[in-house]
Amino acid sequence: MGYTNASWTLGADASALLICRIMRDIILRGMTSVAPRLSEEDENGMKTQQILNLNSTYLQEQSARDQMPKAGDSGPWRPRTSYLRDYWNARFGGIRKGLVYEKVAT
């Protein structure tokens, strides 16, 4: 997802950096796949929130019908709001929390 207060290409830039780091980590660890997963602790204590901070009627209606993507209130599950923070996290932040790495026999 991009930003509601800045160009979507900034979000694409931060996402590309993060994906490249994760892909490099997959290769260095000899894994074949990675998937996002909530830990049991996160799942029990996390509150959901809207991923977009917009107040449009049609978005609120879809959210009420449970048709919009959701975000969490902590960790890697928070919605993106700041390109500078997202860039820093994509470049230097941890990339293993909230992810499960697996090796599938080929």
Q: Is residue 31 part of a domain?
A: yes
38: in domain: yes
Q: Which residue has the higher pLDDT, 101 or 70?
A: 101
What DSSP character marks residue 10? H
pTM of the full structure? 0.74
- 2 found inside a domain: no
Total number of domains in the chain: 1
Residue 44 resides in a domain: yes
Find the domain containing 48 and state its range: 8-102
- Within 8 A by CB and 6+ apart from 9, the residues are 2
What confidence tens digit (pLDDT) does each residue in 59-81 have? 677 666 777 777 777 777 777 77
Q: Which residues, at least 6 apart from 41, have a Cβ–Cβ distance to it below 8 Å? A: none
Distance CA 60, CA 50 (A): 9
